[in-house]
A and B are shown apart, each in its own frame.
Chain A
Amino acid sequence: MSSGLIASLIRLRGFLRKELLQIRRDPSSILLALVMPVVLLLLFGYGVSLDPEQVPIAIVDEDGSALARDLVARLSASRYFEARPCRTMAAADELVVAGRAEGILRIPEDFERSLGLAGGARLQLLVNGVDSNRASLVKSYLSSTLGNWVAIRAAAGESLGPPPAIRIEPRIWFNPGIDSRHFLVPGLIVLIMTLIGTLLTALVIAREWERGTMEALLATPLRRGEFLLGKILPYFGLGILGLLTAVAGAVYLFGVELQGSFWLLLLSSSLFLLAALGMGLAASALLRVQFVAAQVAVLAGFLPAFFLSGLLFDLESTPTPIQVVSHVVPARHFVAICQTLFLAGDVFEVILGAGAWLLGAAILFLGITYRRLGRGME
């Protein structure tokens, strides 16, 4: 090894040791890297669920036949519904208005009799449409429950003909349980990595400027490449630690299976982490004030990762301009990779394209930071 390289490694070693000591002595970075993933995981895993469960449904059985009673029993047994029997439609109406039921299933009096007839049996389903998302979910859950019921009856040797007047879409891909956790938890990894990557690093260069240590560093032979590497490595490590915590939680706590390769997940996460770190460092180097850099990091890093990544909101249903804008957000591409790897498997058409975006973003942000550092005190 040349003496220049050795000197460079010694400088890097000293700088890295200083960063690690600072991280160790500043509990907030440890909290952010290790405790926050667990908290978010529990919060999203248990607290936030987009799935309707135990949805109260008023049931007006005007038929009273054995078949109608069997249908009611089937609905009551489902974990998605809580059957609330009512004598009249008026009583059911009251339940809905009072918010104690989200829909009404009316079994007309000729239900069993008309089953064999040409027009088929008819059921009336009324859903409270105030929350349209939920209404359509409830509607489709009811349809599939009814579909199941018909299938079970058919298996038992009874031919009921087509299911009673409601269309069924029984096949749902990639999320067989239609469990929203299965796409929330992978998305969570994106949030955690964004927080660690962007928010933590937004502070670290600005802090050197604010505390006056940057001036002392600039007067030493420390080069900007060494400085940048010294800033990236520790926080990259913290980010990977956060990733592993989140993946372990997802797999062991919530039983989300990783369909794709773990190594591919690690590689694409590293790319995303570099982009997130780059964004934080660039904000820090450009603004030189911790408070402003943190605000910019939240506005430009965290909020888009939350709203424009497809993590919570389906981007397909947003207006075209927003879809176009969302492509700029690195988190969007990482969400696509995570959901693909967790739910579908190694689908390279998705992963390669998204990975290229992440790489591009990482190079762009780190490049900006590197250039800015070269300007010294100017």
Chain B
Amino acid sequence: MERDPGQEGETIAAEPRAEILLEATALSRSFAGRSAPALDGVDFRARAGRITGIVGPDGAGKTTLLRVAAGLLKPHAGSIRVLGAAPGAAARAGTARIGYMPQRFGLYEDLGVAENLDLFADLQGLPFHERAERFAELLELTDLGDFRARRAGRLSGGMKQKLGLACSLLVRPRLLLLDEPTVGVDPVSRRDLWRILDRLVAAEGIGVVIATAYLDEADRCAEVLVLDRGRVVACAEPATLRHRVAGRVRLVEPRPGCPPRVLQARLEELPEVRDCSIRKGRLRCLLDQETAAVDRLIEGLPEVASSAVVEPTFEDAFMAMQESRPDRAGAATPIAGLASAADEAMIAVEGLGKRFGDFVAVSAISFTVRRGEIFGLLGPNGAGKTTTFRMLCGLLPASDGEIRVAGRDLRRAPGRARAGLGYMAQAFSLYPHLTIVQNLRFFGRSYGLGGRRLRRRIEEVLDEFDLRARRDEDAGKIPAGFQRRLSMAAAVLHEPEILFLDEPTSGADPLARREFWARISAFAARGMTIVVTTHFMEEVESCDQVLLMSRGRELARGSPDEIRALARGPKRPDPGIEDAFIALSEGEVVVGAAAPEARP
């Protein structure tokens, strides 16, 4: 019933408050070599004075829609009008009042902040006499005034995005098109970016269309377009969408001492539970239907302390719109092993540091990971996660400190230490011209597997990762979700004791991320030790231990509960990990000898 765009269209038409800046009618666009269209009959309007969000899983058509609106791609069918004209025409005439910020940083990294502004002012025809004032205004807005001369390549991820925003705002656009501007950006900059957008909308009445991978951001939009495989699933105010699942969301508190992950696996076994995720140490369940029977079922679980129906968020509404439950193939395995997680230290790091020339990428990092634990390295882009991670896997020699992995010194015996490790790189690093099975065979052999054992393991992972249907297709041609599963399958083929995953959920949609974490939890339950990096703050809720990093240093370390507790105070009675990150990195909270209780 959610898949009725016409009905949603009327919801908007009923409130003709503001001028329509962008109007797409039955818009379609496909790409050569891909059978399914990227956009398939999309009807969409964006108005002045409000922020319109676009959300949807990978390949939903978000970027294509924005590119068509920016005049970079031509529609194949249907029509689109931007500021009353065909897109691109105004841009070519040099009179466009449209700002567009592509998903990738579109500025010149070898140019300075002011030089980039100058360039885009020239290209967009900003009159000379307005420049000094406008530059000052934008640098003030984006807080980049102190960095005029700094090369864009040396800005932090958040500052880069702000500079990109400043460049797209030069000509005072009436419509701003932003393609996932907050991906990989630290929470402080993410909050700042949203503040800037809110200010622009309030003060100048511009219209903003923003594609986002963060579902919590959708709640901040006046209106949200939900896309899936090129079609409109819904287009309405977030409140309207939330209202649809009202009463179907239940927050379940685990019994003290019971890890949320264990309860999550238990709840997901219930057929009535559509979706279950860990939020702030509690389980958020989206139910197909809220009935007394389901309540009794949940309350009756031995791991449950209490539960209550709560207000839905946009994410709940979004999950309810998905056709099927996320795949939880791995989660069915027994969880019994977890309780007996041995105290054996699988990874011990002491005073780890890495310098590149005079640039300190990582300094004074120490932690211990025990068998069967999920250890999360959390931080924005450029925090030093990947550098730390590479040192842990023995891909990069450490400048300082000691690393012992599975009891071996990584500096002395990197080869032997590595044989027991599985590694999944951030980028897709399999051979695109080999089939799934050929890739698995190659990676298995390179880890020393062969003969009957290799054949058995390949058969096992084909089932475990649900790859059998495409076993003989080229790895380069299967969908991104399959590629991610294949990468993971290749990493665990040799049954490693420790699994390293570098940004495994980067670019993945909410469904794929859930599926991924379900698998990870299952691995940990079987006694595998897992180290994972991520910039999605909420994801670390599934970790046993988290290291929060910022600018190469430790910001905080501990269980998700302990980290949240750091930020708890009268202003924030129930902080999330992201709140904690902001509080910690702004110095509002200081970690004193890792003793959160000591705080006032």
Contact = CB atoms under 8 A, between A and B. Distances in A.
A15 B124 CA distance: 11
B102 interface: yes
Contacts of B72: 215, 218-219, 376-377
Interface stretch (A20-28, A133-141, A255-263): A20-28
A141 B425 CA distance: 66
A113 B106 CA distance: 90
A259 B95 CA distance: 55
A22 B111 contact: yes
B67 interface: yes
A309 B104 CA distance: 43
Nearest to A215: B102
A10 interface: yes
A7 B96 CA distance: 13
Interface string B144-169: 00000000000000000000100100
A20 B116 CA distance: 13
Nearest to A217: B123
Given A14-B118, A18-B115, A213-B108, A378 B73 contact: yes
* Interface size, A (range): 20 to 34
A13 B102 contact: no
B96 A17 contact: no
A11 interface: yes
A89 to B, nearest CB: 66
Given A22-B110, A25-B110, A213-B108, A219 B125 contact: no
Nearest to A378: B73
A84 interface: no
Nearest to A14: B122
Contacts of B73: 376-378
Contact of A21 (B67, B111, B120): B111
Interface in B34-85: 67, 70-74
A211 interface: yes
Contacts of A2: none
B123 A14 contact: yes
Contacts of A217: 106, 123
B92 A18 contact: no
Interface stretch (A121-129, A178-186, A220-228): A220-228
B115 A21 contact: yes
B148 to A, nearest CB: 15
Given A14-B123, A213-B108, A215-B72, A7 B102 contact: no
A18 B96 contact: no
B110 A10 contact: no
B122 A15 contact: yes
A17 B119 contact: yes
A216 B124 contact: no
Contacts of A223: 92
B219 interface: no
Interface string A151-185: 00000000000000000000000000000000000
Contacts of B375: none
A7 B125 contact: yes
Contacts of B428: none
Contact of B121 (A14, A15, A26, A376): A14
Interface in A362-377: 376-377
A377 B123 CA distance: 18
The prevalent SS among residues of A at the interface is helix
A212 interface: yes
A215 B108 CA distance: 12
B469 interface: no
B106 A18 contact: no
Contacts of A10: 122, 125
B482 interface: no
B135 interface: no
B74 A212 contact: no
B434 interface: no
B93 A221 contact: yes
Contacts of A221: 91-94, 96, 123-125
A26 B191 CA distance: 35
Contact of B67 (A11, A13, A222, A377): A377
A195 B94 CA distance: 37
Interface in A194-223: 211-213, 215-223
B109 interface: yes
A11 B122 contact: yes
Contacts of B94: 4, 7, 221
B105 interface: yes
Contacts of A218: 72
Contacts of A222: 123
A238 B105 CA distance: 29
A301 B26 CA distance: 47
Contacts of B110: 21-22, 25-26
A8 to B, nearest CB: 9
B528 interface: no
Contacts of A11: 122-123, 125
A223 B124 CA distance: 11
B109 A211 contact: yes
B209 interface: no
A272 B471 CA distance: 53
A219 B118 CA distance: 16
Contacts of B107: 213, 216
Contacts of A13: 122
Contacts of A378: 73-74
24 contacts: A7-B94, A11-B123, A11-B125, A14-B122, A18-B119, A21-B115, A22-B111, A212-B103, A212-B104, A212-B106, A213-B107, A215-B102, A216-B100, A216-B102, A216-B106, A216-B120, A216-B164, A216-B167, A217-B123, A218-B72, A219-B91, A221-B93, A377-B73, A378-B73
Given A25-B110, A216-B164, 4 more contacts: A21-B111, A22-B108, A213-B106, A219-B91
Ranked 8 nearest A-B pairs via Cβ: A14-B122, A216-B106, A212-B104, A221-B94, A220-B123, A215-B102, A219-B100, A377-B72
